[in-house]
Copies of this chain bind each other. A is one copy, B any other.
Amino acid sequence: MPKTRDTPQRRAIAAVLERAEGPLSVHDILQRAQREVPRLGIATVYRVLAELRRARAVVSVEVAGHPVCYEATRRAHHHHFHCRRCRTLYDVGGCVAELASLLPRGFQLEDHEIVLRGLCARCAPLSPAAPSGG
């Protein structure tokens, strides 16, 4: 484990992830962190994210039809809801218990991820059709 230096770039990126109200794309992270460090480059964002992920401080969230997103681990265990109409990715709290029972004999469950899909409270009252090609 090499020592990591404390730099403005790293602090800005970490702060953005702490403040985030939900998963952020790499582009989001870059733009928000650039408010603090204007010359921040995309390569640094990727490098810091890879490091934070290695340190288990962030996890990536990959949902079909969405750019890869990142989220700080310190936030309580939760899952995601993807609205098929407005495409927003929501955090949802809580979890389900009997996941381990799905596994065949011999498999060890260490972690899991649940993505729910449908219409969010804002979109459900409107037409049930997607806005564009899907």
Chain A residue total in the interface (Cβ 8 A): 42
Q: Which residues of B contact A113 (CB under 8 A)?
A: 114-115, 117
Of the candidate stretches A1-9, A13-21, A40-48, A93-101, the one touching chain B is: A93-101
Q: Can you spell out 26 A-B residue pairs with CB atoms less than 8 angstroms apart? A: A59-B64, A60-B64, A60-B65, A62-B62, A84-B110, A92-B102, A92-B104, A94-B101, A94-B102, A96-B96, A96-B99, A99-B116, A102-B116, A103-B116, A106-B120, A106-B121, A107-B116, A107-B118, A107-B119, A108-B118, A108-B124, A110-B117, A111-B118, A112-B116, A112-B117, A113-B115
Q: Which residues of B contact A74 (CB under 8 A)?
A: none
Q: Does A61 contact B (CB under 8 A)?
A: yes
A35 → B minimal CB distance (Å): 27
CB of A110 within 8 A of CB of B118, answer yes
Q: Does A109 contact B (CB under 8 A)?
A: yes
Please give me the residue from chain B that is nearest to A109 by CB atom: B118
CB of A108 within 8 A of CB of B114, answer no
- Residues of A in contact with B (beta carbons under 8 Å apart): 54, 59-65, 68, 79, 81, 84, 92-96, 98-99, 101-121, 124, 133
Which of A84, A105, A114 has most chain B Cβ within 10 Å? A114
